[in-house]
């Protein structure tokens, strides 16, 4: 367990530096020390222009949603390909989606459905790297690497997006205390990568649907008054002045400054307080882990956080496929615990952003890291197999959905073939999707970013999907 900086201020310079360094390396779970992850005020690079989107919410359906059972129905295909679900019409003529997404069907005029996403990585831990960074993973399937490409959120942090004291980059990754595998934590591309751990997200691992939900230590302990906090801050500054490494002193000083600001800010406390929401609004999102996490994302963006990623949680149900990884029970799980929850939360988010006048300036991305096999029961090399009622991994074609943030709604981009097996028109790489997100946020995707050795590299090699943008 890393040492909290607020219990380390009197332990001497060396211990202070060690505590800060360990916090950086281990990240910041909500039950641990205050965040050490903020980029505002640190060195900025590259050029930033004004884009139509001021913020981005990523709804990451980890596990790989079945494209032909959600957004890309194939009613004319044989049964073993099209599956059990029926398509329903939407508010957009010619666009049909799954019967278990009725609320989103009614809001299709706000959505841009990309049916031709494609890449070549069948592994759950490395494939997210494509979607979160626009780059192929370095290749290892172990824990995320410091050689990973920095995520979109890390790049925004490095370029000075956001204003303190709130962090510029937050990741919702709720913990379900049932001992079930938490594969999502092993996914590559979700942090600072080679930019360094200072650009990792503030990770929230609490279940926002539980009574007493509380994120981090954003309030002073009863025995610590504001005056005592300021005296500790002054002492901390004095201790940091006596340092053999000026660069370390600057980094640690910045971390503590932001941490002190967090403790002193009622704005921060309010942003994480879901009890301030109208109960009817909370019900609209769904009183479950995912729904309340999506609501938390909206509150954070409204408070000034530029990017929030909401990972689908392991819902703790035993003897079923975890997340959207439906190797078995594909149709049961999609119809009961997956599609209805995302249908409610995503729809509520669209309505809520619209009612608050935020949708035009908030880009929303709904995506998984891959799709699933065209034929039910089909197993592929590199996948984990499929039962007779399941689908295996399939990155060759899948669907991502965009909304808001200057994206043209009521649109379908690209197409898959008759079996939802291959792109048939306008194939879209994750690099193209990420380039489009950067563009909408006002960042030239082809601008240079410097790696840890100071070498200039192109931020993103994809092309902006101009057809998706509002004129």
- What was the pLDDT predicted at 249? 54
Q: For residues 241 and 201, state if they share a domain.
A: no
6 confidence band (pLDDT: 50, 70, 90): very low
Confidence band, pLDDT 50/70/90 cuts, at residue 146: confident
Query: Same domain, yes or no, for 182 and 168?
Result: yes
Asked whether the predicted pLDDT for residue 426 surpasses 50, the reply is yes
pTM of the model: 0.85
Q: What is the CATH number of the domain that holds 444?
A: 3.40.720.10
Residue 45 included in any domain:
no
Both 155 and 226 in one domain: the answer is no
Which of 71-75, 220-224, 418-422 comes out lowest in average pLDDT?
Answer: 220-224
**Is residue 44 one of the residues assigned to a domain?**
no
Evaluate if residue 441 carries a pLDDT over 60.
Answer: yes
Stretch (H or E) spanning 268 = helix 266-271
pLDDT at 112: 98
Q: Specify the higher pLDDT residue, 139 or 33.
A: 139
Residue 459 lies in a domain: yes
Please, which pLDDT band fits residue 174 given cuts at 50, 70 and 90?
confident
Question: Of 97-111, 147-161, 225-239, 353-367, which range is least confident?
Answer: 225-239
Residue that wins the pLDDT comparison between 86 and 217 = 86
Pick the last residue of a domain from 228, 243, 271: 271
Work out the burial of residue 305: count CB atoms within 10 Å of its CB; fewer than 13 is exposed, 13-18 middle, 19 or more buried: buried
Please tell me whether residue 38 adopts helix, strand or coil conformation.
coil
Quick one: 210 and 312 in the same domain?
yes
Higher local confidence (pLDDT), 250 or 197: 197
Q: Which of 211-220, 426-435, 445-454 has the lowest mean pLDDT?
A: 211-220
CA gap 166, 172 in Å, rounded: 15
Q: Out of 178-192, 243-257, 328-342, 346-360, which region has the weakest mean confidence (pLDDT)?
A: 243-257
pLDDT for the residue numbered 337: 92
Other C-beta atoms closer than 10 Å to the C-beta of 222 total 6
Q: How far apart are CA 336 and CA 107, in angstroms?
A: 21
Supply the range of the domain harboring residue 238.
1-36+219-271
Task: Identify whether 41 is part of a domain.
Answer: no
CA distances from 385 to 37, 66, 303, 462 (A): 39, 15, 44, 32
Which is more confident, 361 or 216? 361
Q: Tokens 């596990």 label which residue? A: 63
Residue 322 belongs to a domain: yes
402: tokens are 């965009």
Residue 289, Cα to own-chain centre: how many angstroms?
A: 15
Q: What percent of the chain has pLDDT over 70?
A: 76
Q: E strands of 70-168, at which residues?
A: 87-89, 96-98, 111-117
Torsion angle, alpha carbons of 458, 460, 463, 465, to 10: -150
pLDDT exceeds 80 at position 196: yes
Reading the block at residue 92, the tokens are: 């957009």
**Farthest-apart Cα atoms in the chain, separation:** 73
More confident residue, 198 or 406: 406
Residue 207 and residue 227 in one domain: no
Question: Do 257 and 331 belong to one domain?
Answer: no
Share of the chain above pLDDT 90, in %: 66
Q: Do 248 and 310 share a structural domain?
A: no
Cα 117 to the chain's mean position, in Å?
Answer: 18
- Count of CA atoms in the C-beta half-sphere (13 A) of 308: 25
pLDDT of residue 422: 98
Model confidence at 223, pLDDT cuts 50, 70, 90, reads low
Tokens of 275: 């009890």
Last residue of a domain, one of 271, 299, 314: 271
Number of domains in the chain: 2
What pLDDT digit, counting tens, does each position of 58-93 carry?
Answer: 999 999 999 999 999 999 999 999 999 999 999 999
Helices (H), 159-265: 226-241, 246-264
**Residue 28, pLDDT score:** 37
DSSP letter at 35? P
Residue 130 reports pLDDT greater than 50: yes
Residue 382 confidence class, pLDDT cut points 50, 70, 90: confident
Residue 382's contacts (CB-CB under 8 Å, 6 or more residues apart) are 122, 123, 393
- Whole-number Å distance between alpha carbons of 162 and 227: 28
User: Pick the residue with more confidence: 185 or 467?
Assistant: 467
Same domain flag for 90 and 179? yes
Q: Per the domain annotation, does 49 fall within a domain?
A: no
Are 420 and 81 in contact, with CB atoms under 8 Å apart? yes
């Amino acid at each position: 367990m890393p040492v909290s900086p607020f219990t380390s201020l009197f332990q001497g310079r060396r211990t202070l530096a060690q505590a800060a360094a360990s916090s950086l390396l281990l990240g910041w779970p909500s039950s641990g020390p205050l965040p050490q992850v903020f980029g505002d005020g640190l060195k900025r690079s590259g050029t930033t222009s004004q884009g139509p989107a001021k913020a981005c919410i990523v709804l990451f359906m980890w596990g790989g949603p079945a494209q032909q059972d959600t957004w890309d129905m194939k009613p004319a295909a044989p049964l073993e390909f099209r599956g059990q679900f029926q398509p329903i019409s939407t508010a957009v003529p010619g666009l049909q989606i799954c019967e278990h997404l009725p609320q989103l069907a009614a809001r299709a005029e706000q959505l841009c459905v990309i049916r031709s996403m494609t890449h070549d990585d069948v592994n759950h831990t490395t494939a997210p790297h494509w979607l979160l960074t626009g780059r192929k993973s370095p290749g290892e399937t172990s824990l995320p690497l410091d050689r990973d490409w920095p995520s979109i959120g890390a790049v925004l942090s490095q370029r000075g997006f956001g204003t303190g004291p709130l962090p510029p980059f937050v990741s919702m990754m709720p913990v379900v205390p049932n001992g079930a595998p938490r594969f999502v934590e092993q996914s590559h591309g979700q942090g600072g990568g080679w930019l360094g751990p200072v650009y990792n997200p503030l990770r929230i691992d609490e279940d926002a649907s539980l009574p007493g939900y509380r994120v981090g230590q954003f309030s002073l302990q009863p025995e610590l008054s504001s005056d005592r906090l300021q005296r500790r801050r002054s002492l901390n500054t004095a201790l940091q002045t006596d340092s053999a490494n000026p660069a370390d002193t600057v980094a640690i000083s910045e971390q503590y400054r932001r941490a002190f600001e967090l403790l002193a800010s009622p704005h921060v406390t309010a942003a994480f307080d879901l009890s301030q929401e109208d109960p009817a609004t909370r019900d609209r999102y769904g009183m479950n882990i995912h729904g309340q996490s999506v609501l938390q994302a909206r509150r954070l963006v409204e408070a000034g956080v530029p990017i929030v990623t909401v990972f689908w949680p392991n819902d703790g149900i035993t003897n079923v496929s975890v997340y959207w990884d439906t190797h078995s029970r594909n149709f049961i799980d999609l119809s009961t615990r997956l599609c209805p929850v995302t249908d409610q939360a995503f729809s509520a988010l669209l309505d809520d952003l619209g009612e608050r006048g935020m949708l035009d300036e908030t880009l929303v991305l709904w995506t998984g890291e891959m799709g699933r096999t065209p034929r039910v029961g089909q197993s592929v090399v590199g996948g984990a197999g499929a039962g007779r009622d399941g689908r295996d991994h399939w990155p060759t074609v899948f669907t991502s959905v965009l909304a808001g943030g200057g994206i043209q709604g009521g649109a379908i981009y690209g197409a898959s073939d008759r079996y939802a097996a291959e792109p048939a028109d306008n194939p879209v790489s994750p690099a193209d999707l990420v380039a489009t997100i950067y563009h909408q946020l006002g960042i030239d995707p082809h601008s240079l970013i410097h790696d840890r050795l100071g070498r200039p590299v192109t931020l993103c090699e994809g092309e902006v999907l101009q057809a998706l943008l509002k004129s």
